[in-house]
Structure 1
Amino acid sequence: MPSAVPVTAAKSAGRPATGVRSKAPTLRHERTFKALGARYLAGVDEVGRGALAGPVSVGIAVVDLEKQKPLAGVRDSKLLNPAERERLEPLVRKWSVASAVGHASAAEIDALGIIAALRLAGTRAWFDILASGVTPDLVLLDGSHNWLSPAAQPSLFDDAASEPGCDAPVHTRIKADMQCLSVAAASVIAKVERDQRMCELHAEYPDFGWNLNKGYATVFHRDVLRAAGPTPYHRVSWNLLGGELVDDLDGEL
């Protein structure tokens, strides 16, 4: 399996932006899908793709295009500090028609690769949404690649059953987490839940500072990893001691 490293370290780490705030995301783009007959739209975003340790996590926040009103303060989770995210998380849950977060472990990332692990985490969140009694008409996914839909069958003549997963149409949009409120909301709940998991893992392996770095590639994290070796929660198929670094911070990422 090829090595993988964080692509954009500071972005991946969820570091709050400094300076002027970006324009608040809206439901304007989501509402264009009403013309396609959609009512329930699932905003989807992932966190943890670039970490060295811990799960990759996928959040889903479903909105009602007929009735949903804006929710003040919500931004892409990378633009919010930890206190803001934690304050907003229960508000996002209450605001959403349905919401869920799915996870894929470091071992699953090693076994499947990051894209298939993202799909697995997203599928787990998707089935939680369906179990709540809500069936989204379509999905709005941050980015340019649809990693959520089940992988295509190898052949049209393959008799194997289709891989279970999201069967709604998936629309991708670059920077949807910055512009689209449903996707920003999904990023908030995913980030808060993943951060909580990393704090729980920190209690088991306190030397790595996961309560602060959340499993990302800080200098401190790499120094401990070099000295102590990987834990069961590290993505050992990755180039753990190479690639880009996230600057060490005094506070949480």
Structure 2
Amino acid sequence: MNTSGPRSVVPSLREERRLLRAGSLLVAGMDEVGRGALAGPVTVGVVLVDAGTRSAPVGLRDSKLLAPQAREALVPALRRWGAAWAVGHAEAAEIDAVGIIAALRLAGRRALAQLPRRPDVVLLDGSHDWLSPPGQPTLLDACAGEEPGPAVVTRVKADLACASVAAASVLAKTTRDEIMVRHALAEPRYGWDGNKGYSAPGHLAALAEHGPCDLHRRSWRLPGPRAAVPRAATVRAAAGETSGEGLGTGPARQA
């Protein structure tokens, strides 16, 4: 039997401990979910580790490799495990207003803002640093009053190899799934309790029949009748007049 696939990779704190030995006192693993969805927020999880953080709970993997029941079972242990954790969101309207990359940064900043301590470095999954502001300050940065964030280290497949990033992915995924299930109760036509806002056949069919609702990313190419994006409202939201807390922001916890 081949055991060399992603499911056999057990996330460790090797990279986080390397950063701690290099002088960082606090390392934050960060990951996003919902980037490719057609509806609902984009969600960013963050888990803080320090020199006293022990090995991750048994069974931890990247959230994409775990069944829903396995993810849910890990949540209580993950919330107790790191030095702190938090989850932040950017709404569909904010994605429409500023684009997905700026929305990811907004959600990541909201997650970091909830931590009781500021990390020295953020370990980010992938090859692109979407958390740091662009080279020139933007209107979004000025309106939000954001200070420069912590240093960022990117690593491809960090969600597979790095325990803090894998934990962040599970906490983000379970939180966002809960949000979409609640949205499905109010707007059952799109089957969000099952597809979580992604482009499943039933979701696409409902869009073709009914068109988008307020929770869809209307600036994206969606099937069915299109509705105008309310630019003024979304720009105000992205500029900081809404915090995203109503979307189920996870509490920070200090060990």
TM-score greater than 0.5 by the shorter chain: yes
Cα separation, partners in 2 of 1:67 and 1:88, compared to 1, 3 Å? closer
Displacement of 1:67 after TM fit?
A: 3.9
Runs of 4+ in 1 over 3 A off after TM superposition: 160-163
**Bigger shift: 31-40 or 202-211?**
31-40
Matches within 5 A, 1:201-216: 201-216=183-198
Q: Does 1:89 align with 2:75?
A: yes
Which of these residues, 118, 135, 138, is aligned with residue 135 of structure 1? 118
State the alpha-carbon separation in 2 of the partners of residues 165 and 150 from structure 1: 10
Partner residue in 2 for 1:125: 111
Structure 1 or 2: larger helix share?
2
In structure 2, C-alpha distance between the alignment counterparts of 1:162 and 1:216, rounded to whole Å: 29
Question: Percent of counterpart pairs with the same letter?
Answer: 54
1:72 to 45, 58, 70: 58
Per-residue deviation, 1:28: 0.9
Aligned partner of 2:151 in structure 1 is 169
Once the two structures are superposed, residues 124-148 of structure 1 have per-residue CA deviations (whole angstroms, 9 ceiling, x without a partner) of 001001xx2x221111000111111
CA shift, 1:20, in A, is: 7.8
- Give distance in 2, aligned partners of 1:39 and 1:154: 28
Asked if the contact 1:41/1:65 (under 8 Å) is kept, the reply is no
Secondary structure of the structure 1 residue equivalent to 2:127: coil
Alignment of 1:194 onto 2:194: no
Query: Does 2:204 align with 1:222?
Result: yes
User: 1:67/1:200 Cα in 2 relative to 1: closer, same or farther (>3 Å)?
Assistant: closer
Q: How many angstroms apart in 2 are the aligned matches of 1:186 and 1:205?
A: 28
Partner of 1:58: 44
| TM-score normalized with structure 1 length | 0.81
Q: Distance in 2 between matches of 1:58 and 1:27?
A: 20
CA RMSD between the two structures? 2.0
Q: Distance in 1 between matches of 2:77 and 2:137?
A: 43
Structure 2: gaps (5+ residues): 225-255
* 1:149 counterpart SS class: coil
Aligned to 2:27, what secondary structure does the other structure show?
strand
TM-score, normalising length: structure 2: 0.80
Cα offset for 1:69? 2.6
Measured at CA, do residues 138 and 57 of structure 1 come closer, stay the same or move farther in structure 2, by a change above 3 Å? same
Kindly provide the amino acid, as one letter, of the partner of residue 161 in structure 2: Q
Cα distance in structure 2, aligned partners of 1:165 and 1:187:
25
TM superposition shift of 1:153 = 2.1
- The counterpart of 2:27, out of the listed 41, 57, 76, is 41
Confirm or deny that 1:236 pairs with 2:218. yes
Question: How many pairs align?
Answer: 217
In the TM superposition, what whole-angstrom CA distance separates every residue of 1:106-164 from its partner, at most 9, and x where no partner exists? 000000000000000001001001xx2x2211110001111111233259xxxx79951
* Stretches of structure 1 lacking an aligned partner (at least 5 in a row): 1-18, 243-253
Secondary structure of the 1:108 match is helix
SS at match of 2:7: coil
1:198-219, Cα deviation, whole Å (9 max, x unpaired)? 0010011111110000000011
Distance 1:67 1:54, change over 3 A: closer
Call closer, same or farther: CA 1:141–1:115 in 2, change over 3 Å.
Answer: same
- Contact 1:39/1:66, CA 8 A, preserved across alignment: no
**Letter paired with 1:119:** R
- 8 Å CA contact retained: 2:7, 2:61: no
In the alignment, residue 21 of structure 1 is paired with which amino acid? Answer: R
Summarize deviations over 1:15-46 as a string: whole Å, max 9, x none: xxxx9822111111111112321121100000
Instruction: Please state if 1:183 is matched with 2:165.
Output: yes
